[in-house]
Structure 1
């Protein structure tokens, strides 16, 4: 299982928050993390200072060389799909094909209003934007080969999981209650199934306590990646670095249950095979 780190790029001083984010990404790469993700927030929502995650990841790309760079997430319902595709393609080329583009409907009603969008339509608008984004990725300059297979949908509900699977997108989810829908996603997904579980190290919590919770998490059996974030988001950079260092030795998750391959094969071939696989 891969291990990633997520930051909400929060703090009273945006310039410092951006510099700290680059520092965190460099440290994550040096410690062996597989991915580094940043969240988008408009107008300081939830203390976040980053409305343009692809711009900041451009700076991160120049300071790193191997770690995958993710957005968790861009509110696609507020974006022009072609511009999003072009900006993402430029970052993907700059980074050597390391972008993991996560999108979602967006939860900030204030942002929807400021962008002149109907917040109640955000899920439908997001679906339309994602479909347009995928089409644009096939035609824009610069070309970004493979980026279409590195799209992620932030979702935890049944309809969202099914839609992501039908589009061949990975799933980003912070919800343990997504677990019942994930076997169906693995069985039916177009392309390679990818599930990134986003989990929190809470205020004052030791990272090993978060790992103990993770080992009992119902999503864990279906996840291909654990993405950890430290709360509060505006904690000093030293607190984030301490989480990275504490988690780094466990990044291979050695006590994970048996690989999912046999169960996935069973799911694809019918319920009798499922029973046999789960009893093994």
Structure 2
């Protein structure tokens, strides 16, 4: 599998390569160990390994305060290093919490990285995992939704290198093509509709929130996401017609093993730290079995066929242009992570893509509106 030129929401539908095949990415949370002197360099090696395997994209979880043991609060330095250490894999942020940043500075930093990578940046943008400590940031506002929209406006203005009103300068360097590689990360249906009206892409989280975090609610969470994608595509088509192309990225955890039982046993051992932490903060019910705790996190495991079947049972996958896989919340070495990534790409993805192609004919059909 070799990477191809990046699709863009700026492309007209007739000219877009979206839909020709399922693009596949891999995500790292930089949570393999706690040695900060090595973790960033180790994950550069991971990105290089993903490129060698043939992944289309490598995605970097960006979270403040070491949330979920994600060790990267700001992606810019890391992405710069990854850009000069690779040649063709796309580099994505999942997701950059722009509500806490100066949007002009974000435009400058993203533009530099996009030029440094020769147009390989995929900018996943969001509001950040909620925290009671965000007020420490000078740009913080409790109006997360309104702030997000305002930041996206300023970011778009900056990426186009516009002149500063009341001054003599213009934003530099411009990177207008990056607007077609922006993705709003949100579960809020109004934010999703707004992304469609803006003509930017959509990136979906891998797990639900609150009452959706039970095994029984997993299918309902997946159905909600599928409905959100259908609504995004409906509003996008209503706004842009055939002049631009919608772009949907979905993130999912998938842990492969030689058998389904072996995969569960290995995952249970390597995710014990996470499940204990998740139970302490109320994300999972510790009285449930390990398998049920995993399902609460929308975490799939199994042999390649079982994993593919699980992913294809998710209605969101058929509506997705790029599927980003990862093995979080398990803790594994970089070498073990690369081996799991290889199995996913070589043994699981072909089975998923076969089913994805069969279901793909319905993607461009008119979608029904969903309620708020």
* TM-score (normalised: structure 1): 0.88
Judge conservation of contact 1:7–1:233 (CA < 8 Å) in 2.
no
1:72 maps to which residue?
94
Cα distance, 1:162–1:66 mapped onto 2, change above 3 Å: same
Judge conservation of contact 1:196–1:227 (CA < 8 Å) in 2.
yes
**Structural mapping, 1:15-164, within 5 Å:** 15-116=37-138, 120-139=142-161, 140-164=171-195
1:254 maps to which residue?
354
Q: Match for 1:195 among 248, 252, 261? A: 248
- Please state how far the C-alpha of 1:130 moved relative to its aligned partner: 1.1
Give the Cα separation in 2 of the matches to 1:162 and 1:200: 26
Give the match's secondary structure for 1:256.
Answer: helix
Judge conservation of contact 1:9–1:233 (CA < 8 Å) in 2.
no
Judge conservation of contact 2:248–2:322 (CA < 8 Å) in 1.
yes
Cα distance, 1:111–1:56 mapped onto 2, change above 3 Å: farther
Judge conservation of contact 1:157–1:178 (CA < 8 Å) in 2.
no
* TM-score (normalised: structure 2): 0.67
Q: Match for 1:4 among 25, 28, 41? A: 25
Give the Cα separation in 2 of the matches to 1:260 and 1:251: 15
**Structural mapping, 1:222-233, within 5 Å:** 222-232=319-329
Q: Match for 1:235 among 328, 332, 335? A: 332
Give the Cα separation in 2 of the matches to 1:172 and 1:118: 23
Cα distance, 1:173–1:262 mapped onto 2, change above 3 Å: closer
Which range moved further: 145-154 or 81-90?
A: 145-154
Which range moved further: 37-46 or 92-101?
A: 37-46
Give the Cα separation in 1 of the matches to 2:338 and 2:132: 32
1:166 maps to which residue?
197
Cα distance, 1:81–1:119 mapped onto 2, change above 3 Å: closer
1:277 maps to which residue?
none
Judge conservation of contact 1:198–1:226 (CA < 8 Å) in 2.
yes
How many matched pairs?
Answer: 269
1:215 maps to which residue?
312
- Please state how far the C-alpha of 1:29 moved relative to its aligned partner: 0.9
Judge conservation of contact 2:100–2:140 (CA < 8 Å) in 1.
no
